[in-house]
């Protein structure tokens, strides 16, 4: 690239993904002249960095934390190693399968003013092209004062390859792809441009360019020349340049022949500059305004029939869950590392400080592993099995390193005397610590497991709990212990904390004798470390209530009128009488709700709100779509038209019921298919107002589930039909950042009515709202009034002819975690136009679901001089504010070394005004602070500077933390520089 761009001074090139550029840049370590040549190409506009993210992120299944983080990683690389003084100004998202509403906002906040998108529903392209509206200002549904508008162009045609970019006729476009590599198959029909044929070839090319330009008011055409795996041979650079240069020179020298057309090489920024220049003259740069997104994506370019790319919202849920697990641990590692490194450094221990500086390598690797997986062929699950395995191994390694970083940072933070380096902190491996996480992951393809802790009879064992939120939280803490005769002590005051012992099952019905779950509920100060002691005691002194355990079988089929009839219409006779603890249905209760379950199936049927005396039908069922062979694959979802829906739960479920003083749970097991655990908490805290549900499944063990797509469906009596248009309405989050209204279109098949859910969905009427919170992304829909449907897993034998070249058969044991809640609607807000959003309660529960407290256990030595608690804020921040990250920035000229600054990202999630507040503020997971904290405790800050989202552009200086202001629904970034 450098050689050819230097040779051909008018040729241009764009580069989007920094994950590749960083590796190449590293290889140039001993070639400073080459690096300088790249900088010069960028300075003179011949080489443009577009978007500048670590990858070209997916925009459906990716969470906004990850989308921002990969963009920060890319922009900071450009700032430090490449030496760019300004971030990219042009966005380039040409391959994600549909475009969401969140990433445009992230681009805006990162300094990008123009962007280009490609893969949208063919109907959108046709509609906007017919109105010359393929260029528009893309706005958010919430207020964005003091933000510049994002200008967006949608590509007019199907794909970004040369075959599709020159105009509407793909056969003609293929005549202008001049790549010829010996031994390589090519669709190209191009011929060498000569003086003899240049006039005819130029005229044919200009005809296509003219048709493309006619779709825009300004008559400027952008014709990308490239594709996947292009410009990887010197020969192609020469072939494309020389032939196009011949055509351009001929056209530009003969304006009379070509209607004064001018054709040049140019970058994306060159194009947008010309467009705005033209449009200023035409109408003062006045563009149409668009709200919303472009989901789902559908194509017609394979066989001229619509195909919906809605399968990848769910494909390979194990990987999607793994990514979110890493996000959780990495976020805590980032926050703790920023605090620990600066505390240790400011307390004058160079040895400890040097050790933490070494840890930055692990932090960077974990960041880049998470960032890499946000690629639009990674988190989507749309790569071949060996590639997906490689991604998973990187994620697994990053989880292990993040947990090590957490342990290491916490042990340094808790040391009372930082002037002395304890000998047991000087382990051979940088991440070895005397504190260790209470979870472990032995292999990339296994679920994370709790570590079973022994409790010494003399000193007991201490655990340290980290609350990563900037509010005081009421949370449930669970650890596994080897003995059931233990209690929990608050080390601050020596008081015993109420706790509960639950059984641990190692098979469907076998209770382990050497592992027990210890559970307790505590209040954790904002951004704090709190120590609790687990102590053994004599069994005869036990005062705890013992949990009641029941185990029983059921017949999930309906009882027939004549259970012994052999009539062919009586195919499911009742053949056994099962003795269960309940005559009919059964319930789990909290102070706020009573949850009812079907006595036969074990599944949820109703939620009763005790506060308002309201009974809500919530019938849960598990089913599957039978896939349409060769049309349902990693990307596409299309059920069989002949026999689409299958009931795949077996007949005789096994049920386990555990009832205790703090919590009660019902586990329903359909062997070899699914295990569903329902749990409620007997507390006046807000976690007692909703139902927790975990679904564990492994379809790899069932050969008969081939080409089936597993779904979970919740049927309610909520009237979710919009009275204005008669369509079924549901609300789904966009990348965990905001909620969007969706409508079910009856004249489209189910695959055209699926949408991506990253974290949450709800349906509502004028009386109530049902909300479902999710631990990772799924495809969702609402095919019937009052119904929500969530796709859990897909097992597909066949490829869908969209690029993977194989089915999806590498299914793993996976857990999908949910909260289900019923909330009442405030009757005073029924007719008010309100931006869709979750309630404060649901936002709090979502934080509990995604970012639960980190628990560390001591190694058994209890004689160390360490703090029993450490608070980094004197009080919490407003409940609407969520701490996205506190991320150590790289040094100004070394991407691989930490600086004295951290990037503080804060999201004002706001909350819905439509939902009645049924819980007193004192019982909420979060309560409003009396006053805002002005500074961090234990670490000293030198300055706070509001900046662009990726930390590359300074905006304004703040006096202290209390000056932090984040508008509703928005995210702001602040550069926090610590004292040397």
What is the token pair recorded at 473?
């939280």
- Running DSSP on this structure, what letter comes out for residue 451? P
Question: One of 95, 149, 199, 227 is an active-site residue; which one?
Answer: 95
DSSP code per residue over 688-737: GGSEEEEEEE-GGG-GGGTTEEEEEEEEE----B-TTT--BEEEEEETTT
**E strands along 18-58, which residues?**
47-49
Q: What are phi and psi of 102, to 5 degrees?
A: -80, -45
Helix (H, G, I), strand (E, B) or coil at 483: coil
Could you give the CA distance from residue 729 to residue 723 in angstroms, rounded to a whole number?
A: 10
How many other CB atoms sit within 10 Å of the CB of residue 159? 17
Burial class of residue 875 (count of CB atoms within 10 Å of its CB; 0-12, 13-18, 19+): middle
Helix (H, G, I), strand (E, B) or coil at 742: strand
- For the sheet with 499-505, list strands across it: 452-453, 473-481, 511-524, 499-505
User: How many helical (H) and strand (E) elements, i.e. helices and strands, does the chain have?
Assistant: 15, 46
Note the helical H segments in 485-533: none
Could you give the CA distance from residue 669 to residue 652 in angstroms, rounded to a whole number?
A: 9
Could you give the CA distance from residue 116 to residue 851 in angstroms, rounded to a whole number?
A: 34
Compute CA distances 559 → 359, 554, 605, 651, whole Å.
63, 12, 18, 12
885 touches 973 (CB < 8 A)? no
Question: Which residues, 6 or more positions from 745, have their beta carbon under 8 angstroms from its beta carbon?
Answer: 727, 752, 753
Nearest-5° Cα angle at 230, 229 to 235: 130
Could you give the CA distance from residue 143 to residue 967 in angstroms, rounded to a whole number?
A: 9
The residue length of the chain stands at 980
675 touches 697 (CB < 8 A)? yes
Could you give the CA distance from residue 695 to residue 219 in angstroms, rounded to a whole number?
A: 54
872 touches 940 (CB < 8 A)? no
What is the token pair recorded at 543?
């005062």
413 touches 336 (CB < 8 A)? yes
Q: What are phi and psi of 274, to 5 degrees?
A: -70, -40
- Running DSSP on this structure, what letter comes out for residue 818? E
What is the token pair recorded at 627?
């896939």
What is the token pair recorded at 184?
């390589």
Is 95 considered catalytic here?
yes
Burial 751-774 (b: 16+ CB within 10 A, else e): bbbbbbbbbbbbbbbeebbbbbbb
DSSP code per residue over 571-627: -S--------S-SS-EEEE-SSEEEEE-TTT--EEEEEETTTTEEEEEEEEEEEEEB
What is the token pair recorded at 43?
């300075």
- The owner of tokens 């400011």 is 346
- The owner of tokens 């003399």 is 458
Q: What are phi and psi of 845, to 5 degrees?
A: -65, -35
Which residues are paired to 915 by β-bridges?
Answer: 825
Q: What are phi and psi of 280, to 5 degrees?
A: -60, -40
Beta strand 90-93 with 114-117 is parallel
SS3 content of the chain, % helix, strand, coil (to 5): 25, 30, 45
Query: How far is residue 643 CA from its own chain's centroid?
Result: 33
Closest by CA to 356, choosing from 402, 437, 399, 412, is 412
What positions carry a catalytic annotation?
95
């Amino acid at each position: 690239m450098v050689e050819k761009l230097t040779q051909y001074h008018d040729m241009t090139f764009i580069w989007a993904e920094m994950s590749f550029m960083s590796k190449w840049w590293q290889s140039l370590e001993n070639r400073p002249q080459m690096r300088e040549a790249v900088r010069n190409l960028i300075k003179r506009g011949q080489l443009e960095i577009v978007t500048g993210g670590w990858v070209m992120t997916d925009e459906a299944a990716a969470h906004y934390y990850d989308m921002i983080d990969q963009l920060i990683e890319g922009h900071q690389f450009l700032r430090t190693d490449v030496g760019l003084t300004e971030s990219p100004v042009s966005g380039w998202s040409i391959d994600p399968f549909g475009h969401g509403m969140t990433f445009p906002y992230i681009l805006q906040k990162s300094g990008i003013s123009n962007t280009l998108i490609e893969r949208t529903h063919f109907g959108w392209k046709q509609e906007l092209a017919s109105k010359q509206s393929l260029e528009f200002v893309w706005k958010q549904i919430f207020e964005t004062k003091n933000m510049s508008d994002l200008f967006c162009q949608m590509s007019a045609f199907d794909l970004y390859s040369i075959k599709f970019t020159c105009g509407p006729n793909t056969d003609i476009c293929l005549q202008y792809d001049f790549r010829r590599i010996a031994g390589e198959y090519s669709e190209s029909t191009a011929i060498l441009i000569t003086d003899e044929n240049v006039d005819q070839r130029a005229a044919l090319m200009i005809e296509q360019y003219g048709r493309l330009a006619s779709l825009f008011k300004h008559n400027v055409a952008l014709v990308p020349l490239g594709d996947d795996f292009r410009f990887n041979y010197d020969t192609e650079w020469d072939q494309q340049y020389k032939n196009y240069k011949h055509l351009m020179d001929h056209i530009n020298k003969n304006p009379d022949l070509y209607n004064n057309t001018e054709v040049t090489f140019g970058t994306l920024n060159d194009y947008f500059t010309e467009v705005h220049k033209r449009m200023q003259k035409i109408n003062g740069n006045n563009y149409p305004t668009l709200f919303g997104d472009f989901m789902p994506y559908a194509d017609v370019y394979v066989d001229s029939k619509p195909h919906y790319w809605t399968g990848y919202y769910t494909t390979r849920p194990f990987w999607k869950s793994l990514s979110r697990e890493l996000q959780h641990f990495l976020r805590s590692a980032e926050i703790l590392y920023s605090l620990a490194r600066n505390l240790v450094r400011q307390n004058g221990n160079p040895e400890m400080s040097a050790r933490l500086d070494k840890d930055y390598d692990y932090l960077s690797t974990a960041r880049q592993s998470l960032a890499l997986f946000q690629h639009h062929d990674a988190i989507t699950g749309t790569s071949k099995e060996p590639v997906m395995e490689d991604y998973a191994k990187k994620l697994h390694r990053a989880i292990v390193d993040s947990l090590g970083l957490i342990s290491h940072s916490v042990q340094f933070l808790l040391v009372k005397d930082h002037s002395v380096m304890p000998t047991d902190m000087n382990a051979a491996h940088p991440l070895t610590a005397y504190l260790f996480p209470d979870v472990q992951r032995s292999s990339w393809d296994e679920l994370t497991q709790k570590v079973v802790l022994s409790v010494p009879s003399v000193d007991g064992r201490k655990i340290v709990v980290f609350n990563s939120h900037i509010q005081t939280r009421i949370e449930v803490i669970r650890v596994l212990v080897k003995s059931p005769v233990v209690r929990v002590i608050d080390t601050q005051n020596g008081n015993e904390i109420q706790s509960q012992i639950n059984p641990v099952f190692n098979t469907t019905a076998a209770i382990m004798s050497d592992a027990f779950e210890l559970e307790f509920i505590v209040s954790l100060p904002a951004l704090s470390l709190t120590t609790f002691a687990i102590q053994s005691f004599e069994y005869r002194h036990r005062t705890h209530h013992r949990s009641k355990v029941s185990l029983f079988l059921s017949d999930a089929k309906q009882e027939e009128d004549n259970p012994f009839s052999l009539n062919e219409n009586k195919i499911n006779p009742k053949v056994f009488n099962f003795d269960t603890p309940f005559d009919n249905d059964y319930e789990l209760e909290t102070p706020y709700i009573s949850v009812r379950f079907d006595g036969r199936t074990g599944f949820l049927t109703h939620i009763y709100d005790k506060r308002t005396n309201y009974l809500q039908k919530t019938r849960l069922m598990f089913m599957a779509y039978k896939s349409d062979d060769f049309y349902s694959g990693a990307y596409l979802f299309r059920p069989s038209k002949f026999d689409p829906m299958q009931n795949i739960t077996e007949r005789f479920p096994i049920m386990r019921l555990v009832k205790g003083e703090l919590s009660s749970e019902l586990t329903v097991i359909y062997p070899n298919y699914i295990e569903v655990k329902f749990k409620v908490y007997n507390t006046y805290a807000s976690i007692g107002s909703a139902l927790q549900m975990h679904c564990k499944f492994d379809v790899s063990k069932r050969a008969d589930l081939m080409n089936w797509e597993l779904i979970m469906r919740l049927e309610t009596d909520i009237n979710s039909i919009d009275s204005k248009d008669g369509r079924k309405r549901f609300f789904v989050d966009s990348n965990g950042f905001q909620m969007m209204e969706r409508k079910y279109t009856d004249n489209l098949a189910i695959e055209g009515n699926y949408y991506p859910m990253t974290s949450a969905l709800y349906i509502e009427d004028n009386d109530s709202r049902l909300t479902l919170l999710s631990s990772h992304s799924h495809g969702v829909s609402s095919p019937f009034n009052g119904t929500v449907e969530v796709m859990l897993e897909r097992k597909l034998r066949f490829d869908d002819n969209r690029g993977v070249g194989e089915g999806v058969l590498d299914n793993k044991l996976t857990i999908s975690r949910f909260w289900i809640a019923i909330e009442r609607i405030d009757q005073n807000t029924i007719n008010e136009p309100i931006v869709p959003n979750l309630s404060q309660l649901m936002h709090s529960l979502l934080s509990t679901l995604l970012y639960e407290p980190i628990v560390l256990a001591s190694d058994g030595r209890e004689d160390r001089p360490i703090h029993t608690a450490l608070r980094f804020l004197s009080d919490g921040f407003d409940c609407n504010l969520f701490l996205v990250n506190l991320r150590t920035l790289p040094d100004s000229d070394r991407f691989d070394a930490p600086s004295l600054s951290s990037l503080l990202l804060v999201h004002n999630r706001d909350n819905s005004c439509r939902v009645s507040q049924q819980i007193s503020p004192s019982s909420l997971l979060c309560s409003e602070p009396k006053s805002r904290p002005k500074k961090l405790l234990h670490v000293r800050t030198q300055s706070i500077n509001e900046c662009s989202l990726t930390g590359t552009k300074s905006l304004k200086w703040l006096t202290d933390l209390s000056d932090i202001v984040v508008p509703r629904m928005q995210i702001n970034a602040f550069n926090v520089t610590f004292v040397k």
